[in-house]
Structure 1
Amino acid sequence: MEQFLTFGIVGLSTAAIYAVIGSGLVLTYVTTGVFNFAHGAAGMLAAFCYWQFTVGWGWPVPVALALVLLVLAPGFGLAVERVLMRPVQHLGEAERLVMTVALLSGAIAAARWIWDPNVPRPLGTFLADRDPLHLGPATVTWHQALTMAVALAVAAGLWFLLNRTRTGTEMRATVDDSALARLTGADPTRAGRTAWILGTQLAAIGGILIAPTVALDASQLSLLIVSAYTAAVFGRLRSLPLTFLGAVVVGCVESYLTGYLPQNDYLPGLRLAAPALLLFLTLLVFRHPRLRGRERRLVRVPAPSLRGTAVFAASVVAFALVLATVLGDADLVTYGPIFSLGIVALSYVPLAGYAGQISLCQLSMAGIGAVVWGHLGAHGQLWALPAAIGVSAAAGALIAVPALRFSGVYLALGTAAFAVVLDRWIFTLPSFDVFGVRISLFDQGSVDMVGPDLFGLRLDSTAELTVLASVLLGLASLGVAWLRRSGFGRRLIALRDSEAAYATLGGNLLVAKVLVFALSAGIAGLGGALYGMQQQAVTAEQFNLIAGLPIFLVAVIGGLGAVGNGLFAGTAFIGPNILIGLASWTQNIVSVLPALAGMGLGHSPQGLISRFRGQWEPLGRDRTALSALIGVLALGWVLRLTDVVNGWTLLLGSLVAAYAQRAYASRSRQEPDVPVEWWGIRRPWRPQDEEVLARGTAGG
């Protein structure tokens, strides 16, 4: 009984922290319509700053708390609302979600940059010098008592704010109807700003309270928010009392699993994955209200021509041939994954770009493909590659069945929970038997990988594997382009536009979602297998949720509906490693770049590929300029192969030649003035034409 009470008290103190963090999450969501995936990262940064002030610099605890909670946290929340979220508030739910994911990834990268993750940073509990309290057979530390008291104070303070103050009335009115609230004299912008400030302060309080009981690690502290996610979803993202109740359930489940879970090699990861499993189960069990901010501005997804895609696929292979012949083995290990990770990024196109299904576990699917190839293709058996694709596709289909109940933010939460379960439990399992079949994953270490045996030809060099990955990226791009032009692709676009309309017109939502999830997971599994071949050995950490966020961000930045997104994302993700080769101190800068680019999404919600296509299209249509550019590039390649020029000269010369020929083609193909009534007929329709027409009609 004493042990039961002890673990119960530990669970309640942990639940108090989850309640504080979850209440801030709910407060932000119900006021602004933004589900803040970076909420835990704000608490993580606050915990690191508190450690720096108290332990690193020896400041008094009251001064450090005042600076973090009253200055830094409100300033951070205000900056996020003003600089990041307000510019995308008029966009759709997906764009706002991507912005918070970018903030999460950037905060983790920045924390690792500032505070070396290899240096331990212990943080003492509050009032550790006082004797603990005794409640019957149970013992309560002052830190635990303080934590529960803070949670009660937060609950009372939020109730008073929302029900007894004008600011709270404005916040509740903004939730119901912001336009109507504005007519009554309320200020929705001020209400949203207040919510961001208070939400960040609550995250900071939770981060500081929980940091002494866990390792001060950027990823671990940021992912502790999964438990707060569960509490918030338990409260339907709108009810603070239910959020506190959900926090109690999560905290006690975690504590009792720690105390009573049997000790063996297979269950330790279950305790770590318990919050994510509870989140997934909560999403399945509860009916979810219509998401606030569900309206979104749909992005047109043009059907690519098969001829143009074929030319693009050939260009991908040509690019790989140049890299394979110009770079050495060491450099190819670094830059060769442009094509394999590009395939992983391409998997987002049919899933998110065509079908509108947000997934944060595509790199986990790639991990499944890698581990299947590592074990079944241990001797290069070619049949193991389709097996890796098939097993990954089956895992994707498994996700799709429960995902039928999810949409928008809930789907992102569900797939993130699935990724965390794989990271913390499934991928950490030792080998086990199922019906007499030996199943091995990462075996709590690394998996060695070899290249395939292609009809008697063993592909095992980095150059050969780079070219193989490029060929498969080109073929996958062709397949995705064909899918967009097919009847199934058009049905996926209809599914993205309106699931209700799709079902009303006779579409089967379950079949459509299972197929598209399986297809995208299979593509990701192919990319993961190729990536493993290029790396020669992989670990589970290379496929976790945090590692997958930058790839997701780069894919979104490129444009989820563009077939060329695979090459773009792979190049944008791997290419900046050139800076690390020039100066090793730029490694931290490179790790932050995807997050910074994601934060700039509001300036180009259509994606960068469509912009690049418009800028470079004149060159593709000018045969003279294009032929001259191809000739210059071929000459430079030959000069590099004969060691007349070095790699940097080839790179810079190619860029100068490309931009020069583009400028020439643009000048030579300047279009004559076309009357407004012929826009879109005698010349292509441009995004800015809509604004010009709107201003013209308004002026009339």
Structure 2
Amino acid sequence: MDQFLAFTVVGLSTAAIYAVIGSGLVLTHTTAGVFNFAHGAAGMLAAFSYWQLAVGWGWPVPLALAAVLLVLAPAFGLVVERVLMRPVQALGEAERLVMTVALLTGCIALARWVWDPDTARPLTPFLADRPAIRLGPATMTWHQAVTVAVAVAVAAALWFLLHRTRAGTEMRASVDDRALAGLTGADPLRAGRLAWILGIQLAAVGGVLIAPTVALDAQQLSLLIVSAYTAAVFGRLRSLPLTFLGAVVVGLLEAYLAGYLPRNDYLPGLRLAAPALLLLLALLAFPHRRLRGRDRRLVRVPLPTARGSLVFAGSILLLALVLVTVLTEDGVVSYGTVFSLGVIALSFVPLAGFTGQVSLCQLSIAGIGAVAWGHLGAHGELWALPVAVLTAAVAGAVVALPALRLSGVYLALGTAAFAVILDRWVFTLPAFEVFGVRITLFDQGSVPVTGPDLFGLRLTSPSELLLLAACCLALVSLAVAALRRGRFGRRLIALRDSEAAYATLGGRPLGAKVAVFALSAGIAGLGGALYGMQLQTVTAEQFSLVAGLPLFLIAVIGGLGAVGTGLFVGIAFVVPAQLLGHLGPWAHDVSALLIALAGMGLAHSPAGVVPRMHAEWRRLADDRTLFPALLGVLALCWILAATGPVHDGLTLAVALVAAVALNARASARGRPPADVPVEWWGIRRPWRAEDGEVLRRATAAY
């Protein structure tokens, strides 16, 4: 009994932190209509800032707390609301969701860049020098008591703010219709600004309170928000009392699992994955009608032509050929993952681009494909590759079945929970048997992966594996383009536009969703197997939720509906990281930060940059003079780089400058002339033969 009470005290103190953080999530969502995936990252930055002030620079604790909670957190909230969220407020829910995912990635990269993750940064609990408080047979530390008291104070203050103040009334009035709230005298902008400030402050309070009890790690602290996600979903993203109740359930569950879960090799990960499991169960058990009526701004899905698809596939193969002839073996190893990661990223196109289903677990599913190929194709058996793809497709269908009733942010939360369950539990399991069949995943370590035996030719060298990945990317791109042009692709886009209309016209939304989930998972599984071949050894950390977020962000930046997004993601993810990698280990975090900043620019191009690039470079491809000139310059640069008389970097720079210059010239040729006043004809633009007739007709009336 004493042990039970001790675990209860620990669970309630942890629940108090989740309640504070979850209430900030609910406050932001109910006022601004945004589910902030970066909420935990904001608390993480607050915890690091508090450590820097109180420990790193030796400030007094009260002064450090005041600086973090009253200055830094409100300023961060203002910047997020004004710079990031206000420009995308008029866009759909998916765009606002992507913005917060970009913010999450950026915060983690920034923290890892500023504070070395290999350095321990312990924090002393509050009032640690005082004796513990006796509660019968159990004890409570003063830090736990302060945590519970803060949670109670936050609950009372939020209730008073929302129900007894004008600002709270404006915040509640701005939930469903900001324009209507403005007509009644409320100020939606001010309400949203206040909600973001208070939400970030509550995240900062939770981060500072939980930091002394865990290690100061950017990724770990940011993912602790999964427990707060569960509490917020208990409250259906709008009820603060139910959110506090959900926090109590999550906190007690974690404490009891830590105390009473049997000790063996299979269950430790279950305790770590318990909040994600509970989040998935809450998403499936509770009705979520609130989000279905949110405004959406649908983005047009590009329609690739058969000729254009073939040209694009040929360009992929040509790029691969250039890389293997120009780069050294080390360079091929460094840049070879462009095409395998492109295949994984291409799985977003039919799922999110065509159907509008946001999934954050594609890289985790790619890990299933990599593991399946690593074990089944250990000796290069070619039949194991389609089996690995089929295994990943089955995993995608399993994800789809419980997710059929979810949409929007709830689907993103469900797939994120699935990825966390894989990361923290499933991928950490040792070998086990199911109905007499031995199943081995990462087996608490790494899995060696080899190349396939292609009709007697064993592909093992980096160049051979790069060409194999490029061929697969070209073929999958052709297949996705054909899907977009076909009947099933049109059905998927109709399903994205309106599920009700799709069902009314005789479609089966559930079957279509399961099919597209399985299809995209199969593509991701193929990419994971190719990725593992090039890495030669894979671990569970390479397929985690946090590792997959940059891929998702770059896919959004490129355009989820464009077939060329796969190649774009591979190039944008690998090339900058490799170029910056020569500067030092910190350059990896800088690369992730740049990706996040690019994702935050979504408001300027919600359709993606790949369609814009296609439209701009199409003029150059249609120019019968400039395009052959560009091909000649590129061919010359290729020959010079392959034969070695000049440095590869110089030839690459010359090729890029030539391509940009010729494209600018083609754009200038194709641009319609601006209106020039009549008195400047022949000066600011050439004199035309028809200008004289135009002038005579214009002056005849006078």
Q: Calculate the TM-score normalised by the size of structure 1.
A: 0.95
In structure 1, what is the Cα distance between the partners aligned to 2:618 and 2:172? Answer: 50
Cα distance in 2, alignment partners of residues 339 and 616 from structure 1: 22
The aligned counterpart of 2:43 is: 43
> Is the contact between residue 33 and residue 292 of structure 1 (CA under 8 Å) also seen in structure 2?
no
Which amino acid in the other structure matches residue 524 of structure 1?
Answer: A
Detail structure 1 runs of 4+ shifted over 6 Å in the superposition: none
The percentage of aligned residue pairs carrying the same residue is 72
* CA displacement at 1:593 relative to structure 2: 1.1
- 1:122-201 alignment runs, 5 A limit: 122-201=122-201
Alpha carbons 2:565, 2:610 under 8 Å: kept: yes
- CA–CA separation in structure 1 for the residues paired with 2:310 and 2:294: 37
**Conservation of the 8 A alpha-carbon contact between 2:360 and 2:549:** yes
Q: Give the alignment's Cα RMSD to 1 decimal.
A: 1.3
Q: Which residue of 1 aligns with 2:687?
A: none
Distance 2:55 2:417 in 1: 34
**Distance in 2 (alpha carbons) for counterparts of 1:80 and 1:370:** 38
Displacement of 1:472: 0.5
Q: Does 1:666 align with 2:667?
A: yes
Deviates more, 1:167-176 or 1:155-164: 167-176
Displacement, 1:623?
3.1
Identify which range, 298-307 or 575-584, moves more after superposition: 575-584
Alpha-carbon distance between aligned partners in 2 of 1:58 and 1:667, rounded to the nearest angstrom = 60
Partner in structure 1 of residue 652 of structure 2: 651
Report the equivalent of 1:631: 632
Distance 1:412 1:4 in 2: 36
Give, as a single letter, the amino acid of the residue that structure 1 aligns with 2:319. F
**Secondary structure class of the residue paired with 2:531:** helix
* Aligned 8 A contact 2:292 2:407 in 1: no
Supply the distance in 1 between the matched residues of 2:335 and 2:290 (Cα, whole angstroms). Answer: 44
Cα distance between partner residues in 1 of 2:231 and 2:434? 35
- How far did 1:672 drift? 7.2
In structure 2, what is the Cα distance between the partners aligned to 1:195 and 1:667?
47
Deviates more, 1:549-558 or 1:499-508: 499-508
Q: CA separation in 1, counterparts of 2:293 and 2:75?
A: 25
CA contact (8 A) 2:388 2:526 kept: yes
AA aligned opposite 2:428: T
Distance in 1 between residues matched to 2:488 and 2:148, nearest whole Å: 54
Cα separation, 2, equivalents of 1:453 and 1:177: 60
**Contact preservation (8 Å) 2:334, 2:578:** no
Match of 2:380 in 1: 380
Hey, what does 2:512 align to over in structure 1?
512
| Correspondence for 1:218 | 218
8 Å contact kept, 1:579–1:586? no
State the distance in 2 between where 1:7 and 1:279 align: 22
- Bigger mean CA offset, 611-620 vs 628-637: 628-637
Whole-angstrom distance in 1 between the partners of 2:50 and 2:642:
55
Range that drifts further, 455-464 or 170-179 = 170-179
Distance (Å, rounded) in 2 between the aligned partners of 1:56 and 1:582: 29
Cα deviation for residue 277 of structure 1 reads 0.2
Once residues 299 and 44 of structure 1 are traced to their aligned partners in structure 2, the CA distance between those partners, rounded to angstroms, is 34
- The aligned residue for residue 428 of structure 1 is 428
- Higher deviation after alignment, 58-67 or 663-672: 663-672
User: Quick one: distance in 2 between partners of 1:95 and 1:144?
Assistant: 39
Deviations 1:216-245 (A, max 9, x none): 110110001000000000001000000000
- Which residues in structure 2 correspond to 1:238-387 (within 5 Å)? 238-291=238-291, 294-387=294-387
Which ranges in structure 1 are unaligned for 5 or more consecutive residues?
675-700
Equivalence for 1:604: 605
1:192-216 residue CA offsets vs partner (Å, 9 max, x unmatched) = 0000000001000001111111111
The SS at the match of 1:180 is: helix
User: 1:504 deviation in Å?
Assistant: 2.1
- Any conservation in 2 of the 1:92–1:293 contact (CA below 8 Å)? no
Secondary structure of 1:47 counterpart: helix
What is the alpha-carbon distance in structure 1 between the residues aligned to residue 18 and residue 414 of structure 2?
Answer: 19
Aligned partners of 1:361 and 1:545 also within 8 Å: yes
Correspondences of 1:449-598 after superposition (within 5 Å): 449-584=449-584, 586-598=587-599
Q: Secondary structure at the match of 1:447?
A: strand
| Letter matched to residue 658 of structure 2 | A
Who wins on radius of gyration, i.e. which is larger?
2
Work out whether residues 302 and 611 of structure 2, in 8 Å CA contact, stay in contact via their aligned partners in 1: no
Instruction: Name the aligned partner's letter for residue 276 of structure 1.
Output: A
- The CA distance in 1 between the partners of 2:530 and 2:343, in whole Å, is 9
- 1:620 is aligned to 2:625: no
| Secondary structure of residue in 1 paired with 2:611 | helix
Q: How far, CA to CA, are the matches of 1:56 and 1:355 in structure 2?
A: 49
Whole-angstrom distance in 1 between the partners of 2:408 and 2:240? 22
Unaligned runs of 5+ in 2: 676-702
Query: For 2:455 and 2:67, how far apart are their aligned partners in 1?
Result: 66
Report the Cα offset of residue 330 of structure 1: 1.4
Residue identity opposite 1:610 in structure 2: P
Contact 1:394 1:518 in 2 (8 A): yes
Shift of 1:430: 0.8
1:2-33 deviations in whole A, cap 9, x for unaligned? Answer: 11111111111100100000000000000000
Q: Secondary structure at the match of 2:37?
A: coil
- 1:572-595: CA deviation from partner (whole Å, max 9, x where unpaired): 111102432542253332121110
CA distance in structure 1 between the aligned counterparts of 2:430 and 2:441, rounded to whole angstroms:
7
Give the superposition deviation at 1:473. 0.3
Q: What SS class does the counterpart of residue 438 from structure 2 fall into?
A: strand
Matched-pair contact (CA < 8 Å) for 2:361–2:548: yes
Q: CA deviation at 1:62?
A: 0.4
- Aligned-pair CA distance for 1:653: 1.6
CA distance in 2, matches of 1:554, 1:84: 17
Q: Is the CA contact 1:33–1:293 (under 8 Å) kept in the aligned structure 2?
A: no
Q: Deviations over 1:51-72 (max 9, x none)?
A: 1111111111100100000000
Report the residue type matching 2:191 in the other structure.
A
What are the superposed Cα offsets for residues 667-689 of structure 1, whole Å, 9 maximum, x if unpaired? Answer: 44455799xxxxxxxxxxxxxxx
Q: Secondary structure at the match of 1:405?
A: coil
SS of the residue aligned with 2:58?
coil
Number of corresponding residues: 674
In structure 1, how many angstroms separate the alpha carbons of the residues matched to 2:138 and 2:36?
A: 37
Q: CA–CA distance in 2 between the matches of 1:449 and 1:55? A: 45
| C-alpha distance after superposition, 1:122-155 (max 9, x if no partner) | 1111111111111111111111111111110000
Deviates more, 1:309-318 or 1:284-293: 284-293
Please report how far the alpha carbon of residue 295 of structure 1 lies from its aligned counterpart in structure 2 after TM superposition: 1.1
Q: Which residue of 1 aligns with 2:641?
A: 640
Question: Is structure 2 residue 37 aligned with structure 1 residue 75?
Answer: no
**Structure 2 equivalent of residue 15 of structure 1:** 15
Partner SS state of residue 86, structure 2? helix
Contact 1:34 1:93 in 2 (8 A): yes
Q: Which residue of 2 aligns with 1:27?
A: 27
Residues of 2 paired with 1:447 and 1:515: CA distance?
A: 30
